[in-house]
Amino acid sequence: MKIEGVIVCVNYSDFLEYTIAENLQHLDRLVVVSHPADKQTGRLCDKYGVDCIKTEVFHDDGDKFNKGRGINLGLSHLRHDDWILHLDADVVLPHRFRHMLKMAKLDKENIYGCDRLNSINYENWMQYKNKTVPQHLWRYMVTPQPEFPLGSRLVHNEYGWVPLGFFQLWSASKRRQYPIVCGNAEHSDVVHAIQWPREKRILLPEFFCYHLESEVAQMGVNWEGRKTKHFGPSKAPLKEMYSYENGLKPPPILK
């Protein structure tokens, strides 16, 4: 089994710094798609020997932040020789991830998703991250950790359960593209997943992944560009907040 990963990371390097080292061990290849102005993401990719595709397609046709276009560009740089995993830059895969996939006996006709546990800030993650090993208490019980609240699932009234874009795993043989449905990061992951009928959308119960958050925030706050605060030690100030709402600005250099 081979897994190629694709991640869009624009002004999310503060998260990627803590997720890329954890996730690389589970992937045969990773492509990160970013913006030319996001120098810190490029530096991280260079550090870990990861292909970084720098592009301005996120803002084509006046869009504020079209994540689907970035994902499709990343997909075009993959070899498409087995499985594709789309991950968000703030998601950490669990230990024994590949073993659990092998046990699941994946069907290439399906798209797969998983549940996530939310770590609400940097201090919370650093204090409790060592408890993520193992997830399987007494070897058998897949148990949510009380330190990390369980994230919501999306169950659509018309389409049923849909694997969200923070983790979507599908066979490269399907050659699926992300639909371009709006000018921001909303909806494209759902429309991508419903290209598979409900019986082909499968939740993986063998594990949870981890979703890092810098603060408690409303759903969709970053759909048009990053607005939430920096993920890192609270004593390290963010030099400036940045977004794409009022024109492109280079991200701050976070040291």
Position 63 scores a pLDDT of: 87
Q: How far is CA 29 from CA 18, 23, 74, 132, 220, in A?
A: 18, 10, 12, 24, 29
Domain positions in the chain:
3-212
Q: Which residue bears the tokens 């992951």?
A: 189
Using CA atoms of 119, 97, 10, 172 in order, give the dihedral in degrees to the nearest 10.
-150
Count of CA atoms in the C-beta half-sphere (13 A) of 169: 24
For residue 183, the model assigns a pLDDT of 61
Is the pLDDT at 239 greater than 60? The verdict is no
Q: How confident is the model at residue 186 (pLDDT cuts 50, 70, 90)?
A: low
| pLDDT tens track for 78-90 | 999 999 999 999 9
Was domain 3-212 assigned CATH 3.90.550.10? yes
Predicted pLDDT of residue 35: 95
Model confidence band, residue 135 (pLDDT cutoffs 50, 70, 90): confident
Q: Residue 33 pLDDT more than 60?
A: yes
How does pLDDT run across 137-181, given as a tens digit for each residue? 888 889 888 999 999 999 999 999 999 999 999 999 988 788 887
| Predicted confidence (pLDDT) at residue 131 exceeds the cutoff of 90 | no
Q: What is the pLDDT of residue 236?
A: 46
Query: For the stretch 203-233, what's the b/e string if a residue is b when 16 or more beta carbons lie within 10 angstroms of its beta carbon?
Result: ebebbbbbbbbbeeeeeeebbbbbebbbbbe
pLDDT at position 26 is 97
Report the distance separating Cα 47 and Cα 45, nearest Å: 5
Average pLDDT over residues 180-206: 87
Residue 227, pLDDT score? 84
Whether the predicted pLDDT of 73 surpasses 60? yes
DSSP conformational letter for 7: E
Cβ-contact 190, 164 below 8 angstroms:
yes
- Whole-angstrom distance, CA of residue 85 vs CA of residue 145: 25
Average pLDDT of the chain is 88
Specify the range with the lowest mean pLDDT, choosing from 72-76, 110-114, 125-129, 237-241.
237-241
Q: Do β-strands 136-137 and 141-142 pair in parallel, antiparallel, or remain unpaired? A: antiparallel
CA distances from 151 to 35, 144, 180, 213 (A): 29, 10, 26, 12
Residue 105 has pLDDT above 70, yes or no: yes
C-alpha–C-alpha distance, residues 65 and 78, integer Å: 22
**Contact predicate 119/213, CB 8 Å:** yes
The whole-model pTM stands at 0.88
Check residue 180 and give its pLDDT.
Answer: 80
